[in-house]
Amino acid sequence: MTGINGYIGNSFKKWIGNSADSYDVHSISVRNEEWKKMDFSRYDVVLHLAGIAHVSTDVSMEKMYYKINTDLTIDLARKSKKNGVKQFIFLSSIIVYGDSGKNKTVINKDTIPNPTNFYGNSKLQAELGIKSLESDEFKIVIIRPPMIYGENSKGNYPKLAKLSNILPVFPDIENERSMLHIDNLCQFIKLMIDNEESGLYFPQNKEYVRTSELVKLISEENGKKIRLTKVFNPFFKLFQNHWLVNKVFGNLVYEKSMSEYSKSEYRIRSLKESIRLTENAKG
């Protein structure tokens, strides 16, 4: 497994370690070239989680995104195949379809990826590069998760949680987002390994989420009251094309049927339970 120091890597190692089944998990660093000297032949699966997240739009970072998110992924997959690894799992992102927008965007299996920034495109190019390596003996799993959240997560969730604790009111905007709790993601990855899967997957929670609903649930879990109001809606409508408004109140969902997994249920946490677990973990 790569990316052990990342949020998902740490979470998955704990999850698999608590499993009743037996797994031998090794974490490797890909920060330098040392991994190229390693023998991967003892591994059945390579789970590639390392990469640069969507943290910058600075054009000076573009080459670095492609070097790490694209080139490193392809090089790692090539070595895995050459060394006889049976399965390569790559964590991509819903961002390959572009950013969220003011209008409801429902992604289905016919939706063509259309990244709007080099983060999304670096992930998509990595997908295309490793897919060409697939064979009967070398299975490729590509996972395109939506926003991931949970205990100690980064990104939008902790920012919204902070707002829920200090604001008495919050805009009541009608939007929908797909989200994925970290436990649901970890269970999904485990099932991919256990069932020796290959293909393209779109895991998400059972429920879509409204940003205002999410903030209210977080607030209630912390014993606070926050009132949702539409009084600010004309203001947000005026700036609905602004990147920050779209980031918080934009629409972006997977059509629900494409996230089903027929062999087993991976969504072991409901939205309310996942919020409770996340907030209670803060102590």
| Domain assignment of residue 146, yes or no | yes
* % of residues, the chain, pLDDT over 90: 80
Over the range 115-150, which residues count as b (16 or more CB within 10 Å of their CB) and which as e? Answer: beebbbbbbbbbbebbeeebeeebbbbbbbbbbbbb
Measured in degrees and rounded to the nearest 5, phi and psi for residue 107 equal -85, 130
- Mean pLDDT is highest, among 52-66, 126-140, 233-247, for 126-140
* % of residues, the chain, pLDDT over 70: 96
Number of domains within the chain: 1
- What is the domain range of residue 108? 7-280
| Domain assignment of residue 59, yes or no | yes
- When the pLDDT of each residue in the chain is averaged and rounded to a whole number, the result is 92
Q: In which band, very low, low, confident or very high, does the pLDDT at 212 lie, cut at 50, 70 and 90?
A: very high
| Domain assignment of residue 57, yes or no | yes
| Domain assignment of residue 86, yes or no | yes
| Domain assignment of residue 145, yes or no | yes
Looking at per-residue confidence, does 225 or 246 come out higher? Answer: 225
Closest CA to 11 of 263, 190, 179: 190
| Domain assignment of residue 1, yes or no | no
pLDDT of residue 56: 63
| Domain assignment of residue 2, yes or no | no
| Domain assignment of residue 196, yes or no | yes
Task: Kindly report the CATH number assigned to the domain that includes residue 244.
Answer: 3.40.50.720
